[in-house]
Amino acid sequence: MTTASDLFKVHIQNMPEALNTKKDIDEYIKEFWKDFKEKANEAKAINKAAKAQKRKKGFDKDGNPKKKRAPTAYNIFIKEKYAEIKEANPELDRNQIFVEAGRLWQEAKAL
């Protein structure tokens, strides 16, 4: 990858002889930097789009949807007990409901 300074040097070496005044040269240089920034922004946008496409969750490398794992016995148990505990104790917050469900799971597991 070439740096901005290398590209600028090449641009200056290729400067037309018709540019006689400092004002003409300054305009020529401003045009270079304007074009350089536009190209850099376009490259960033392309890279960002490519990365965003790579980072899609739930898809494999080929773009096909990943298959979800089957829920474990613990997941099924918690899902069922969460609703039961919440209905029986509406004053409990989410963390307390999970603590109670975890305690019930430990009891069921011990049997």
Per-residue pLDDT for the chain (111 aa), expressed as one digit of tens each?
577 788 877 877 777 877 778 888 888 888 888 988 999 999 898 888 777 666 567 777 777 888 888 999 999 999 999 999 999 999 999 999 999 999 999 999 887
How far apart (Å, rounded) are the C-alpha atoms in residues 7 and 13? Answer: 10
Predicted TM-score of the model (pTM): 0.43
* Euclidean distance between CA atoms 111 and 108, whole angstroms: 5
* Residue type for position 16: P
Question: Per DSSP, which regions of the chain are E strands?
Answer: none
Neighbouring C-alpha atoms within 13 Å toward the C-beta of 11: 19
Give SS3 for 65. Answer: strand
Q: At 59, is the secondary structure helix, strand, or coil?
A: strand
